[in-house]
Amino acid sequence: MGLSRRRFTREFKVAALQRLETGASVAEVARAFEVDPNMLQRWRREFREAPGNAFPGLGKQRWEQGRVEQLERKVGQQTLEIDFLKGCLQRIEEQRQLQAVTGKPRYTSRSKGKKTEPKP
């Protein structure tokens, strides 16, 4: 009969790490909690790297796929908006350059029908 792998709850891991934080040595905590010292070191490293995302549970992904997809859609939409605004700024700059060359303001689509002259 083979050995089954032990599973530890998030609460168990956090309790072990809290005991480490009180000043107990890794060896002492490992003996008290009956775990390998290397496992304690790994838990400590995981917790320091991402405290809110450490020890996600049984098979739970650290980043939910739906959240990743949502963020990717948002990045794509913002990229389109940025490209659109860059085009707008480019057209405005072209109009300014044309105005500088001709000395007269260029009529916009709104003012074409009015045929008003610029004030001196």
The answer to whether residue 112 sits within a structural domain is: no
Task: Tell me the pLDDT tens digit for each residue of 13-26.
Answer: 989 999 999 989 99
Q: Is residue 67 part of a domain?
A: yes
Q: What DSSP designation does 63 have? A: S
pLDDT one-digit tens code per residue, 76-116: 999 999 999 999 999 999 999 999 888 876 666 665 555 55
Answer whether residue 113 is part of any domain: no
The verdict on residue 111 lying in a domain is: no
Mark out the alpha helices in 1-120 (DSSP H runs): 10-21, 26-33, 37-49, 65-102
For residue 120, being part of any structural domain is answered with no
> Are the beta carbons of 35 and 16 closer than 8 angstroms?
yes
Please state the pTM of the whole predicted model: 0.45
**43 plus 75 within the same structural domain:** no
Distance CA 80, CA 66 (A): 21
Structural contact between residues 40 and 30, judged by C-beta atoms closer than 8 angstroms: yes
Tokens coding 37: 């010292």
Identify whether residues 43 and 76 lie together within a single domain: no
- Structurally, how many domains does the chain consist of? 2
Containing domain of residue 27, as a range? 10-49
Cα(46)–Cα(14) distance, integer angstroms: 11
Q: Is 86 contained in some domain?
A: yes
